Structure 1
Amino acid sequence: MDLDFERCYQATSSRDPRFDGWFIVGVRTTGIYCRPSCPSPVCPKPANVTFYRTAAAAQLAGLRACKRCRPDAVPGSPEWNTRADVVGRAMRLIADGVVDREGVPGLARQLAVSARQLHRLLVEAVGAPPLALARSQRAYQARLLVETTGMPLGEVAFAAGFASIRQFNDTLREIFDATPSQLRTAVRRHSDPHPGGGLTLRLAVRPPYDPYGVVEWLAARALPGIEEYADATYRRVLRLPGGPGTVTLRPASDHVLATFKLATVADLGAAVARCRHLLDLDADPASYLPVLAADPALASLTKAVPGLRLPGTVDGAETALRTVLGIHTRTVVAALADPLPSPDGGLTHTFPEPAAIADLSLPTATANTLRAMAQRLASGELRLDEGADRLLARRVLLAVPGLRPGQVEDLMLHALGDPDAFPAADRTLRSAAKAHGLPVDTTGLTRRADRWRPWRGYAAHLLWRASRTPTTSRNLDSCPIQSQVASDQCADLWGR
């Protein structure tokens, strides 16, 4: 959103929570920055207020975080997940921890721009350069760990991405006006820093939130050994920079409880960012539901699901390969999946690397498509991660032999989070469209969907949501992968 002063000040003076995360309110007379809905009894005068796109920009202006409204405790701006330009891609990669792992040069390299150009673009768009944005993120991650876990403070510093204890202490004191020890003693904490061998955090969501819509969608497609679902809880394996891990996600109406088991705590930031993307926690229904509700065919559906979200992914390459494999996914994965060093219940394996699948010699048309997809992913020609160029990815996907346009749209929607992708050829989607008086043929449905731009992806999931039977009351098949048996099945499948 544009930082129109009058609009931002009106939202601030009315303490409108809908704008939390969209912008930051800086108050020069007090030296603090707040969320728009800060409950302070006195609204600052317009002459004393400056609005910022990010907390990092406010910090660069010498402001510290408000202790009353906790601007770090709200979801991030949904704009960074929907924007397809360099700035949006950079913000997603920074959230994934690329600056901490590879520095600014590594971030610029992934975006195919110079470090100087990236610095300029981010300062112009969000008011802060990459290092300041990464520093702000580290500070918020550290405070979350300090206040919600019993982890030793030195371990917290490492998990949040700080290079030293001194840097950790100085940053928290500067931003929050408190030392790590003071932040910890101000709240109750768990007596066990790693209950059950995991690290449990509350992931903030932007209300309203449909707590089970995305989880049910994921559960219906759960891959045994890599995912499992039971009692309204979704669990899966994560492939992270420091090694494989697992996450257990328990959604509620105002948060998601996430328990991580990681190879290294340094992966926590990336794990959190990917789970937020998976569950679309930063989305703002007020942006897209009014557009969908303007169509009489969708109006009643939007009222029924005011917290609609769009399922994402934690691994775009995995999503792409599973899309091509279809019904053969379990068999092929069972033959090639790598076992976890320490199985976590029914989570026993990681999804195979694209290079392993690209080496398969398979004779069928599906196998040719699979091999072409895997080769492009393995070589880096096709990127489906947080920093992918969506226009380039679409062109590469369309060039994969045998990949149908509907599959391309599905990958744009769920692997890359393109909110306007629309897989009109999907049978379930067309069936749901028919049930609600919409055109059934692909051409007619695509033409009708023009009314829903730029949120056609949310319209697609709204129709999918209306067409399926809830699964929260039953357990899905979650038996572990049996590689030694499935290997023979894979050989039989491909005639080897």
Structure 2
Amino acid sequence: MDAATLEVLLATQPDAPRRGFNAVRTTGIYCRDGCAGRPRAHNVTRFATTVAAEAAGYRPCLLCRPDRLPASASSPHEVVERALILISAGALDEETEEGLASRVGVTARHLRRLFQDHVGATPAFVARSRRAHFARRLLDETDLRMIDVAAASGFASVRQMNRVMRDVFRFTPAELRARRRQRDRLVADGGLRLRVPFDGALAFEELLAYLAPRAIPGVEVIADGAYRRTTSTHGEPGVIEVSRADDHHLLVVAHLPAWTTLIDDVGRVRRLFGLDAPTAEDTPLVDDALLGPLVARQPGLRAPGAWDQFETAVRVFLGQQVTVAGATTLAGRLVEALGRPVAGLEPLGLTHVFPAASDLAEASVERLRAIGMPEARARALREFARAYVDGRVRLDPATPLDEATQALEALPGVGPWTAQLIALRAMGLRDAFPAGDLGLRRNAARWVGEDAPLDGARLEAMAEAWRPHRALAALHLWFSGRVDAGG
């Protein structure tokens, strides 16, 4: 649809979203803006998301391929957004809508009603669409067998995948693979290669610069413009590599013993690099007197998340009252003491899988002290691991910020800085803000023209104006001083 036709459509459908997809009633397909197709405006219904168009019975256009765009995990309704974040992390792969509703604090019936009102589809349909679109990308870009595509995409069987793919795309997986364009296919030169799409700008190199000094020795390596790490698939080790493919995709190379966790591993990549999080340019921060100039200097920054919530929370714990370099050293010693060794990856700098929460919960205080931790902090770290294992603490991205920080601060050795930084990095809560962080206080002082670091309470008061995007505000403040703090 060209721009002129779109303006006619928006004029005749005042409630239609300006950013969205065009579903053509006469053909039964939906397209992205700018598609070469030229439908008449009166035959078009506008949808905000691909899943809403699919739930209404439309299939994606084979020409403009709207299904290749990243699905949004955002919504103006807080409960819906929290549920979408959980679904994008695979929440409905193993639990029911009732379980999902319980996690966001509503009944299943109310959650379905909210989804119909704000998304245009049920939670179960959103999860089904997630699996179908991931399978379509595997069919386009890899030569995996159908049984492996089904397993990697979260389907219980090839038969189930065939049924869902026919419902969504009107073609079977075999027919879709036969139709793929040659330029979509990635030639493997070791490992399975997959492009991961994102919308808008992404300061990928800057995120690598943030993650590099915090990389856990033996588990993570950042070198030559790429992030590499060990993984565990059903107890067997693997390796994931992430680099920039182009302005709209990251390239993931997966070396895994099985493909059954691939859809979740790609979700972890999205979470780690904030691919579904907003940039400050898309928020009121861009107009803030203090942050606006910082946003202009560093476009495309996204709040980095966690590959594994427990792992990142432990990394934050180790950063208490020490430098970033000191915390990294402690993390390496912890991995060497309690992690599972991985053979054959030493040339990459990868030697271990990060310790399981149960291993850390069962470790003796003496063993934790041996890595260089004071006794009180060793006990606190072990208690945190035990609380995580028995469910007293859940690092759930759908948890409201106040509830999350209260639960964390109820544990010994966890203060506001630790709780807020765990909420920011491990849980991906977008309004988390560790106001007591020395780097934030120092950099904020610089930008308001003062020499001494700001008082934490004063910075906390200033940050009220940055809600609900304080995590992004923290990131821009850290980067304004070249990321010399922040755990």
* TM-score between both structures, scaled by the size of structure 1: 0.82
Pairing of 1:195-234 with structure 2 (within 5 A): 195-196=189-190, 198-234=191-227
| 1:347 and 2:342 aligned | no
1:137 is aligned to 130
Q: Secondary structure at the match of 1:212?
A: helix
2:323 is aligned to none
Pairing of 1:85-164 with structure 2 (within 5 A): 85=79, 87-104=80-97, 107-108=100-101, 115-164=108-157
1:27 is aligned to 24
Gapped regions of structure 2 (runs ≥ 5): 1-5, 320-326, 366-373
| Shift in alpha-carbon separation, 1:434–1:316, aligned structure 2, 3 A | same
Residue 423 of structure 2, aligned match among 406, 409, 412:
412
| 1:39 and 2:35 aligned | yes
Q: How far is the alpha carbon of 1:462 from its aligned partner? A: 0.7
Alpha-carbon separation, structure 1, partners of 2:95 and 2:147: 22
| Shift in alpha-carbon separation, 1:94–1:193, aligned structure 2, 3 A | farther
| Shift in alpha-carbon separation, 1:113–1:245, aligned structure 2, 3 A | farther
Q: How far is the alpha carbon of 1:319 from its aligned partner? A: 1.3
- Whether the aligned pair in 2 keeps the contact of 1:354 and 1:378 (CA below 8 Å) is yes
Q: How far is the alpha carbon of 1:443 from its aligned partner? A: 1.8
Amino acid at match of 1:25: N
| 1:174 and 2:167 aligned | yes
Q: Secondary structure at the match of 1:406?
A: helix
| Shift in alpha-carbon separation, 1:449–1:239, aligned structure 2, 3 A | farther
| 1:424 and 2:421 aligned | no
| Shift in alpha-carbon separation, 1:241–1:456, aligned structure 2, 3 A | farther
Amino acid at match of 1:365: A
Alpha-carbon separation, structure 2, partners of 1:12 and 1:227: 53
Alpha-carbon separation, structure 1, partners of 2:469 and 2:206: 17
Q: Secondary structure at the match of 1:195?
A: coil
Gapped regions of structure 1 (runs ≥ 5): 1-5, 471-496
| Shift in alpha-carbon separation, 1:242–1:99, aligned structure 2, 3 A | farther
| 1:436 and 2:447 aligned | yes
Alpha-carbon separation, structure 2, partners of 1:176 and 1:249: 29
The superposition leaves residues 281-316 of structure 1 with CA deviations (integer Å, 9 ceiling, x where unpaired) of 123336645x22323332322112221211110111
| Shift in alpha-carbon separation, 1:394–1:436, aligned structure 2, 3 A | same
- Whether the aligned pair in 1 keeps the contact of 2:197 and 2:249 (CA below 8 Å) is yes
Alpha-carbon separation, structure 1, partners of 2:386 and 2:114: 33
- Whether the aligned pair in 1 keeps the contact of 2:218 and 2:351 (CA below 8 Å) is yes
Q: Secondary structure at the match of 1:310?
A: coil
2:465 is aligned to 451
Residue 56 of structure 1, aligned match among 51, 60, 63:
51
Alpha-carbon separation, structure 1, partners of 2:12 and 2:62: 17
| 1:318 and 2:311 aligned | yes
- Whether the aligned pair in 1 keeps the contact of 2:31 and 2:64 (CA below 8 Å) is yes
- Whether the aligned pair in 2 keeps the contact of 1:245 and 1:261 (CA below 8 Å) is yes
Q: How far is the alpha carbon of 1:66 from its aligned partner? A: 1.5
Amino acid at match of 1:31: G
Pairing of 1:9-20 with structure 2 (within 5 A): 10=10, 19=19
2:336 is aligned to 334
2:368 is aligned to none
1:494 is aligned to none
Alpha-carbon separation, structure 2, partners of 1:286 and 1:450: 16
2:271 is aligned to 277
1:3 is aligned to none
- Whether the aligned pair in 2 keeps the contact of 1:211 and 1:253 (CA below 8 Å) is no
| 1:71 and 2:66 aligned | yes
Q: Secondary structure at the match of 1:79?
A: coil
Q: Which moved more, 1:242-251 or 1:427-436?
A: 242-251
| Shift in alpha-carbon separation, 1:415–1:200, aligned structure 2, 3 A | same
The superposition leaves residues 176-203 of structure 1 with CA deviations (integer Å, 9 ceiling, x where unpaired) of 243333433332279997531x211111
Kindly report the root-mean-square deviation, in angstroms, between the aligned alpha carbons of the 2 structures: 3.2
Q: How far is the alpha carbon of 1:231 from its aligned partner? A: 1.0
Q: Secondary structure at the match of 1:347?
A: coil
Amino acid at match of 2:354: F
Size of the aligned set, in residue pairs, is 454
* TM-score between both structures, scaled by the size of structure 2: 0.83
Alpha-carbon separation, structure 2, partners of 1:343 and 1:11: 59
* Structure of greater relative contact order (alpha carbons < 8 Å, 6+ residues apart): 1
Q: Secondary structure at the match of 2:252?
A: strand
Amino acid at match of 1:468: R
| Shift in alpha-carbon separation, 1:107–1:293, aligned structure 2, 3 A | closer
| Shift in alpha-carbon separation, 1:44–1:383, aligned structure 2, 3 A | farther
Q: Secondary structure at the match of 1:202?
A: strand
The superposition leaves residues 33-64 of structure 1 with CA deviations (integer Å, 9 ceiling, x where unpaired) of 223x242353642x433344543332232211
Q: How far is the alpha carbon of 1:99 from its aligned partner? A: 2.5
- Whether the aligned pair in 1 keeps the contact of 2:52 and 2:121 (CA below 8 Å) is yes
Alpha-carbon separation, structure 2, partners of 1:182 and 1:12: 38
The sequence identity of aligned pairs, in percent, is 39
Q: Secondary structure at the match of 1:119?
A: helix
Amino acid at match of 1:250: S
